[in-house]
Amino acid sequence: MLETSKETGRALSPAKGPNKFMKFLNSRSVAPYVFISPFIISFLVLSFYPTIRAIIMSFQSILPGQIEFIGMSNYSRISNPTFYKALSNTTIYVILTVVILVVVPIILSVLLDSKFVKFKTIFRASLFVPALASTIVAGMVFRLMFGETDTAAANQILNWLGLQSVEWRYNAWSGMFLMVLLACWKWMGVNILYFLAALQNVPKELYEAAEIDGATMFKKFLFVTLPFLKPVTIFVVTISIINGFRMFEESFVFWEAGSPGNIGLTVVGYIYQQGIQQNDMGFGAAIGVVLMLIIFVVSFIQLILTGAFKKGDE
């Protein structure tokens, strides 16, 4: 009520011009555009312009005060052992995190949803806590637990089991292990919540019907539960692939600027190294464009294989 009187008061007092303008702004065909104008501006300045700019930059050699077009030579430089190392590291990381972060959360969420488990709320909450920590802080803790010395937690366990200590940050396999472990630890709880939410949508009657037909627990899981989890699985796989290719912090926190033999180098890490540290922005932009294409192609293939596009026809 109050705002009504204020509005009319404001509309009456100034001259005719502003009044008309206010009316124009307030019309129902204009107001929506005023509302979305922040998005339009931010899209143009912070998404559209940089995308175009990234593509242009990828054909340029950019030195302070001296920018020239050099055709495809940034792209031909990408074909080098370091990039392939970064790409293979990233790809292995994506595959491992996708598999682990889909399979384990499905199993855990089905168990958590079953009548066998009490204290569901506490379990769910504690599994979620790792998602709250920053990767830097969490990585620092992992680094101290997986230290090189015999006194660090991970090596202590190995020694108790009668195994040799491992220099975790200096082997290719253990370096990958650390990065994958950190990511899985951090995102497990979030993915469990996704699957738990989807499980609430499975009609209980289906389980009862399956029980009457004499289905075992495993069969119920396979033929009743899993089909209902398909949409959320596609979703989780898609975001895991995209986030996997974007990975940077999990590597940075273990090796900062550079890892021995590039065992921890990722594609985004390579962009950072070349574009920012070496100040070779044209080359960095070219790697970025290649990364974008890779992500689009992989996501697209994944969506076709999982039949995500078919749903529209049904």
Cα–Cα distance list, 292 to 78, 152, 210, 268, 286 (Å):
14, 39, 45, 11, 10
Residue from 237, 249, 262, 264 in contact with other proteins (CB under 8 A): 249
Name residues contacting other proteins, limited to 52-71 (CB under 8 A).
53-54, 57
Q: How far is the CB of 49 from other proteins (least distance, A)?
A: 7
253 interacts with other proteins by CB under 8 A: yes
Name residues contacting other proteins, limited to 228-247 (CB under 8 A).
232, 235, 239, 242, 245-246
- Looking at beta carbons only, is 33 or 309 nearer to other proteins? 33
Name residues contacting other proteins, limited to 148-167 (CB under 8 A).
148-149, 151-153, 156-157
Q: What residues are paired with 61 via a beta bridge?
A: 68
Alpha carbons within 13 angstroms on the beta-carbon side of residue 67 total 11
Q: Which helix (H) or strand (E) holds 282?
A: helix 281-305
Residue 260: which residues within 8 A CB-CB, separation 6 or more?
Answer: 169, 170
Q: How far is the CB of 179 from other proteins (least distance, A)?
A: 15
Query: Per-residue b/e over 65-86, b at no fewer than 16 CB within 10 Å?
Result: eeeeeeeeebeebbeeeebebb
Q: How far is the CB of 169 from other proteins (least distance, A)?
A: 10
Residue from 225, 265, 272, 308 in contact with other proteins (CB under 8 A): 272
Q: Are 246 and 266 in contact (CB under 8 A)?
A: no
Q: Are 82 and 265 in contact (CB under 8 A)?
A: yes
Q: How far is the CB of 64 from other proteins (least distance, A)?
A: 10
- Looking at beta carbons only, is 15 or 122 nearer to other proteins? 122
Name residues contacting other proteins, limited to 97-136 (CB under 8 A).
108, 111-112, 114-119, 122-123, 125-136
199 interacts with other proteins by CB under 8 A: no
For the CA atoms of 10, 16, 22, 23, the dihedral, rounded to the nearest 10 degrees, stands at 120
Q: How far is the CB of 11 from other proteins (least distance, A)?
A: 9
Name residues contacting other proteins, limited to 200-229 (CB under 8 A).
none
Total of residues contacting other proteins (CB under 8 A):
102
